[in-house]
Amino acid sequence: PALAVAVLRREAFLGGGAEPPLQVEMRALVHRVRGRFIDLTEVHFEPDRDKRWAMGARLYSEAESDVQGILFLRPDLGNARALTVFDGAALGTATQSDHYRFLWDGKAVRQIGNLTTHELLDRETLFASLGVRAAA
């Protein structure tokens, strides 16, 4: 799911600037996460972004001092589990992981090359692995 989120964010950025076809290299950073998280995986997804953010702000302000964030589902990514971290102390030291090359065709990232493992993944396969058909 993290790679799919990175693809979506890069597409929004490149598409917003109407960038021509190009290649973008990115490194994945990995953190160990330890802490106590509010489990919202059973809470109905609120499609309105402003309402979701208001709920997050309320949870953040009401959180007990020993709560480091929330666990929730991302219906846009096949109900993949995701974390929002309120307290940076819950994150371990970042370590560099795989090195990727995103192949932007002017409309979408069509292929993702993993330069560490030498694997090539197309956009449709990535999103299908999460059980979603992502429009581009």
- pLDDT for res 136: 64
Give per-residue pLDDT as tens, 39-84. 999 988 888 989 988 987 887 777 666 789 889 998 888 889 999 8
Mean pLDDT of the chain: 90
- pLDDT for res 60: 76
User: What whole-number distance in Å separates Cα of residue 129 and Cα of residue 34?
Assistant: 27
Give Cβ neighbours of residue 56 (< 8 Å, ≥ 6 apart): 70, 84
- pLDDT: is 22 or 131 the higher one? 22
Percent of the chain whose predicted confidence (pLDDT) is above 90: 62
- Indicate the pTM of the whole model: 0.81
Give Cβ neighbours of residue 91 (< 8 Å, ≥ 6 apart): 31, 32, 33, 85
Give the residue carrying structure tokens 């929730």: 72
Rounded mean pLDDT, 76-101 = 92
- pLDDT for res 45: 83
pLDDT at 125 over 90: yes
- pLDDT for res 114: 96
User: What whole-number distance in Å separates Cα of residue 80 and Cα of residue 104?
Assistant: 24
Residue 42, CA atoms < 13 Å, CB-side half-sphere: 2
Distances from the Cα of 130 to the Cα of 19, 82, 108, angstroms: 27, 13, 18
Give Cβ neighbours of residue 57 (< 8 Å, ≥ 6 apart): none
- pLDDT for res 37: 92
Phi, psi at residue 66, to the nearest 5°? -100, 15
Cβ–Cβ < 8 Å for 23, 3? no
